[in-house]
Amino acid sequence: MKNIIQFNFAINNTKNFYLFVVNIKFLFFLTLFTLGAYFLTASAVGPTFVSGIISADTTWTVADSPFVVQGTLTIASGVTLTIDSGVTVKFDSPASSIFVYGNLHSNGTLSQPVTFTSINDDSVGGD
């Protein structure tokens, strides 16, 4: 599984310290400086690329959305993939697929649906 992380930075002039959050291949590094008067934050967003076998219970959250299925994704027997409301799942080609031998729980709501669509669909989830 490969995760691409982007950072969105916002600066607020209301705090007396700098906060830097850096993500390098799932390793988070946090440094706090008390040298200035600005507050700097970072937030990680998808896309998260998925393929292969899910062999342990897993939850996909909107924070990591969209999820892009590359090739074949298999949910093993006895395993549950839970997809939270608001998550977008994209398929990178017509041959991409999800095989469910365990359980797939899609927890969408009317106001925050779970969307399954093509990587070419820019109307939801971005790329």
How is the chain split into domains, by residue range? Answer: 1-44, 46-117
pTM of the predicted model over 0.85: no
Q: Which residue reads 């830097």 in tokens?
A: 20
Q: Which of 34-43, 52-61, 110-119 has the lowest mean pLDDT?
A: 34-43
- Which amino acid makes up residue 62? V
Distances (CA, A) of 47 to 13, 32, 126: 30, 28, 8
- Confidence band (pLDDT; 50, 70, 90) for 23? very low
DSSP assignment letter at 63: G
Distances (CA, A) of 55 to 66, 74, 105: 21, 9, 15
**Chain segment 100-114, per-residue pLDDT in tens:** 999 999 999 999 999
The pLDDT score that the predictor gives to residue 20 is: 37
Cis upstream peptide for 47 (omega within 30°): yes
Evaluated on CA atoms 69, 70, 72, 77, the torsion sign reads: negative
